[in-house]
Chains A and B, each alone.
Chain A
Amino acid sequence: MKSKINLYLIEFAINSLLRQKFKNIFILMVLIFLTSLLASIFFISNSIKHELNSTLRTLPQITIQKLKAGRHYDMNLSDVDEILNIAGVSDAIPRVWGYYYFANMGTNFSIIGIDEFENQYKQTLVKATKTNDFTKALDENSMIVGEGVKKALEENYYKEYFNFIKPDGTFKKVNIGGVFKASTNLESNDTILLPKQIALEIFGMEEDKITDIVVKVANPEEIPTVASKIQIIFPDARVITNKDLEISYQNIFDYKSGIFLALFVVSIFTFFIIVYDKASGMSSEEKREIGVLKALGWKIEDVLKEKFYESFIISFLGYIIGILTALSFVYIFNAPLLNNIFTGYSELKTDFELPFIIDYNTLFLIFFLTVPIYIASTIIPSWRSATIETDKVLR
């Protein structure tokens, strides 16, 4: 059968690779490095995307924020009633949240005030926190913090409580009532959850003010309609639907992995040019080899097949080892160094335990960026020298 793999040719290809050991090992190394770098970047960004998307459904369908002079502005508590009157809205919850700058560490905590600390949220809070004894966590003057916050406070000798500095310069002492579970670390690391009254006090806001309103819509199909109705009632508001959030996520990660794809494209082309240049300026020895093979009766087809096996062996090995390295680098060693690209220079670093998700698109993309390109870059020049007449090459 013609299409059968010729084992002798494979053997010949292996021998021919081993004859130029150092050059080929070098090419293999470069290939491994390129594939593993690109794969790692894609794996990290895919995992973060997966993490975000898996919880996207839980988020409120619509968020309403007031803008004044292009900046965020507090809303009134009475606005909630107007929204509740719109048909299709099943719930509208006023929220108080914001950032608290902790100057000692140079970090921002996210403070979230919650109204019904006890009733409505109790069940969900039990699920999300480590605290078993909820009497302490639900104490009026206490807060539930993320692990990063807990650590940051402990480093600054706040073990039991924390003194918030209010806008007027006075202190507000709040006890630490509980800690969020480690499994939510990517979401909760910098979060402080406390009763709404205390949040208002820390932010220096009046009692009837709120930061924004989240709206739940019973029927997902109605979200755009409800959003446009809200926009009519509050022309100065920014109405954010969960679709907008999804698009925003997409943009963030397309941007970050896009940079690296661009870098990779540059490096793969450099690599391609080096290989092509090296092979097209085939050493006279290699040309001679092809000439001898042809003189021995090999057809052009055979020479090309042998070259194909040669380049396939190298690039495929490079690809497989690269993927293997990337998988263990990202998911077992949690991507040291590279994760900084995605986390920035934050003081409140999360543990960065990325959830594993296998994305076949990425694997195929990397495969087609490396293997066929390398094969082409070796086959084309050898085809050129194989088509020259044998006696010319030998002479």
Chain B
Amino acid sequence: MNKKSKYFIGITIFLISSVLILIVYLNMNESIDKKELNEKKAFLKVTALPDLAISTEAMYIRHRTLSDTFSLLKESPELREYFPSTYTYSHSHILNNTPSKVLNEK
């Protein structure tokens, strides 16, 4: 075996073992432990509402599983198209919001 293959085998072993070490480390420190799980369960027992608080603007995500039947239509990321809001055309972006009276007086 020459130097290069020794290096290669060394690097491979190092990488594999570091993946394993990382997995063990994460398992010990980052996974949900029993105490945390009990706290979560206690919270959910009180509120009895499902779903995670990862997005709060759109109602279909927060308590999406219980949300309004139609909120999904207008807000969902997998937006089901409904005429004509989002289909192929939108309102003019050069539309002037200033009243014409104001423009004319200038």
Contact = CB atoms under 8 A, between A and B. Distances in A.
Name the interface size band of chain A. 35 or more
B53 A189 contact: yes
Contact of B40 (A60, A184, A244, A342): A184
Contact of B4 (A18, A99, A193, A255): A18
27 contacts: A11-B5, A58-B44, A60-B48, A65-B66, A110-B49, A114-B46, A124-B43, A125-B46, A148-B56, A183-B35, A187-B53, A190-B53, A190-B56, A191-B53, A214-B48, A244-B65, A245-B65, A313-B8, A317-B11, A321-B15, A324-B15, A327-B26, A343-B54, A344-B54, A350-B53, A350-B54, A354-B30
Contacts of B66: 63, 65, 212, 240
A266 interface: no
B43 A188 contact: yes
Interface stretch (A46-54, A279-287, A383-391): A46-54
B52 A184 contact: no
Contacts of B56: 107-110, 148, 189-190, 346-348
The 5 tightest CB contacts between A and B, nearest first, are: A356-B30, A127-B42, A189-B53, A344-B55, A128-B43
A67 B40 CA distance: 30
B30 A331 contact: yes
B86 interface: no
B41 A55 contact: yes
Interface of A: 7, 10-11, 14-15, 18, 48, 50-52, 54-56, 58-60, 63, 65, 67, 70-72, 93, 95, 97, 99, 106-110, 112, 114, 121, 124-125, 127-128, 146, 148, 180-181, 183-191, 193, 212, 214, 238, 240, 244-245, 248-249, 252, 255-256, 313, 316-317, 320-321, 323-324, 327-328, 331-332, 342-348, 350, 352-358
Nearest to A339: B54
B8 A345 contact: no
A148 B53 contact: yes
Contacts of B49: 97, 110, 112
Contacts of B43: 124, 128, 180-181, 184, 187-188
B39 A190 contact: no
A245 B19 contact: no
Contacts of A56: 50
B8 A52 contact: no
Contacts of A181: 39, 43
A108 B48 contact: no
